[in-house]
Structure 1
Amino acid sequence: MRIVVSTPTGQVGSRVVARLHRAGVRPVVVVRDPARLAPDVRRRSEVVTADLMDLDAVVRATRGADALHWVAPSLGPDPVAAYDRLGRVAAAAVRENGVARVVVQSSVGAEARQGFGEIDGLGALEEHLDGSGAAVTHLRCGYFFSNLLLDLAALRAGVVASQLEVDRRIPWVAPDDVADVAALRLLSVDWSGRTTQGVLGPADLSGADVAATLTELVGRPFRAEQVADDVVAEQLRAVGMPPTQVEAVVGMARGFRSDVRQEDARDAVSTTPTTFRSWAAEHLAPELRGGRGTGEDMG
């Protein structure tokens, strides 16, 4: 089985590659900089150097492929347009090479097609691949636990900051669980057509839920705090982010605050096992213990 994996150094792609190795598959990994791959990964994989925006390069990388794992990275000053372009490239390569199966890393909210900021680009990407002639599964993933690691400064001050209302619950998921689902889909040949599959973690969580769990794990108080869209936008502009990118980021929360109905319901298939508590105990709590804002510092 010839399986092609894009973004093999990413937090999901790297885990998919590891699972394919354990399954006895030598995957084709498409990467801009092979030096970022661990020596063992290079040894066990066929490495193709390519830019995912380069149609000719992606066509070469997917030649002879039975399955493709397509993870579109967020790129450039207009990520919605970049996702659209990445969808066109992937669909053209799939058609050119007759790739039978494609597993797409998408997101909850992509079903709306409009009103979810950056995620609107994933909706466009889905549509391009739906027209590729391949069997396609779009993995509609929840909010990654690991996104919290991008906001350690606020967390060290005891704040779980979000543009969402502190009690609004949405699906949260571990990257490991997304990789499990993607690898299983890639290895299976017993599916066809166009389908979506929720990858939703074990439970929907709010900022208040996250704060309560961190309070227990770290042993000092955390609180959830909603940050207004205009405040976030101003912060992003202050670090040089262009208007299209600012809108893409701010628009995601606006979509999740809306009443758009989630297409992929929570059920036995979409519910994945890793809890926020177990993930945070391993990956986040060690970063927060002993840092700024200990119980004594907070009075």
Structure 2
Amino acid sequence: MRIAVTTPTGNVGRHVVTMLLRAGIRPRVLARDPGRLDPGVRREVDAVAVDQRDAEAVVAATAGVDALFWVDPPSAGPDPLADYAAATKSVASAVAANGIARTVFLSSVGAEKRRGAGEIDGLAATELALDALGATVTHLRCGYFFTNLESQLDAVRAGVIPVVLPLDLPLAWVAPRDVAEVAVARLLSGGWSGRGVQAVHGPADLTWPQAAAVVSAATGRPLRAERVGDDEMRGLLRASGRPDGVVEAVMGMSTGLRDGFVPEQPRSLRSTTPTTLGSWAYEVLRPRL
């Protein structure tokens, strides 16, 4: 079985690669800089240097594969949705040109809105493009990654995480490793076809105060969530060096999902995964604080 994996050093992609290796698969990995791969992993994969926003290069890099794990690469440019559009063109071109039998796409809760959710709108556009091909594809609509807390280390150390969501709004929190397990199960299975959506919601829905309490108990540091206004959050994001386009794309992921939004896929046995926020925070976050 020939499987291609994008973003092989990312929060989910790196786990997908190692799980495929343990399953006896030598994956083809598409990376902007293969030199960033762990040397041990680098010896066990077929690495291709490719820009995922270069459609011609992606088509060439995925020739002959049976299955593809696709992640739209993150954007730090002034127009994130334009970057997502370029990545969407790449994956749609590759699936169509190479007749890729199965694609697993890393999407997000909120993509079902199709518009009005900031950066998530770029993922929605990728879903629509793959659906339009009539391809066999599973869209993984994931909850809020635990690893997002790693980009907020200063706030965690200071003991206060600013949020623009209502403090009583529960979110699905999920470990990227659990997302990878779901993705790999799909990649390795030939028993499905057509278009499908698989929610990956983690073990529990948590409000921000509940999540802060869990992280505080796991790390031994006091932590609370504090709601701030939209303009204040924009100021904090700009102060971190993000351009205005990125600020609005990030803001939209919260503001677009706070007023009565309900995920299309309800929590179920299939969407619930095992790793708890507390165990992840103890193992991963605590040593970094």
Which of the five TM-score ranges fits, normalised by the shorter chain? over 0.9
Displacement after TM superposition at 1:38 (Å): 1.6
Quick check: 2:84–2:123 contact (8 Å CA) kept in 1? yes
Matched, 1:183 2:184: yes
Map of 1:223-234 to 2, 5 A cutoff? 223-234=224-235
Give the counterpart letter for 1:41 in structure 2: V
Give the secondary-structure state (helix, strand or coil) at the position aligned to 1:256.
Answer: coil
SS of 1:284's partner is helix
**Cross-structure match for 1:279:** 280
**Whole-Å Cα distance in 1 between the matches of residues 277 and 242 of structure 2?**
31
Counterpart CA distance in 2 for 1:220 and 1:208 is: 14
* Aligned twin of 1:51: 51
Which deviates more, 26-35 or 255-264?
255-264
Equivalent-residue separation in structure 2 for 1:153 and 1:187 (angstroms): 39
8 Å Cα contact 2:2-2:67 kept in structure 1: yes
Cα offsets for 1:159-204 (capped at 9, x unmatched): 1322212221110100110110111110011111101000000101
Render the CA deviation track for 1:211-255: whole Å, top value 9, x for unaligned: 222332334432211122111212233444332222111111102
User: Helix, strand or coil: the match of 2:259?
Assistant: coil
Structure 2 distance, partners of 1:269, 1:263, is: 14
1:87-114 C-alpha deviation (Å, 9 max, x unpaired): 1210111100100110000000000011
Relative to structure 2, which stretch is displaced further, 223-232 or 98-107? 223-232
Mind listing any 5+ residue stretches in structure 1 that lack a counterpart?
A: 289-299
* Corresponding position of 1:128: 129
Deviation at 1:285, TM superposition (A): 2.5
Classify the secondary structure of the residue corresponding to 1:44.
coil
> Who is 1:90 aligned against?
91
Pair 275,220 (structure 1): closer, same or farther in 2 beyond 3 Å? same
Query: What CA deviation, in whole Å up to 9, does each residue of 1:110-132 have, x standing for no partner?
Result: 00011111101100011011123
Q: Name the residue aligned to 2:115.
A: 114
Structure 1 segments, 4+ long, off by >4 Å, are: none
* Matched residue, 1:101: 102
**How many Å separate the matches in 1 of 2:39 and 2:219?**
36
Q: State the distance in 2 between where 1:217 and 1:50 align.
A: 39
Shift of 1:259: 1.3
Q: Which is greater in Rg? A: 1
1:144 CA displacement: 0.4
Structural mapping, 1:28-177, within 5 Å: 28-75=28-75, 76-177=77-178
Please give the per-residue CA displacement for 1:1-43, whole angstroms capped at 9, x wherever unaligned.
Answer: 1101011111110110000000100110001111111222121
| Partner Cα separation in structure 2 for residue 160 and residue 81 of structure 1 | 30
Q: Could you state the TM-score of these two structures normalised by the residue count of structure 1?
A: 0.93
Q: Which runs of 5+ in 2 are unaligned?
A: none
Name the counterpart of 2:25.
25
CA gap 1:256/1:57 in 2 versus in 1, 3 angstroms: same
Cα pair 2:30 2:48 within 8 Å, conserved = yes
Number of residue pairs the alignment of both structures matches: 288
Q: Secondary structure at the match of 1:137?
A: strand
Distance in 2 between the 1:278 and 1:111 partners?
30
Structure 1 Cα separation of the partners of residues 165 and 276 of structure 2: 21
Identity %: 56
Deviation at 1:140, TM superposition (A): 0.2
**SS of residue in 1 equivalent to 2:43:** helix
Aligned-residue offset at 1:260: 2.4
Determine if contact 2:104/2:186 at 8 Å carries over to the other structure: yes
* 8 A contact 2:27–2:45 mirrored in 1: yes
Letter of the structure 2 residue corresponding to residue 257 of structure 1: R
Is this contact kept in 1: 2:161–2:225, CA < 8 A?
Answer: yes
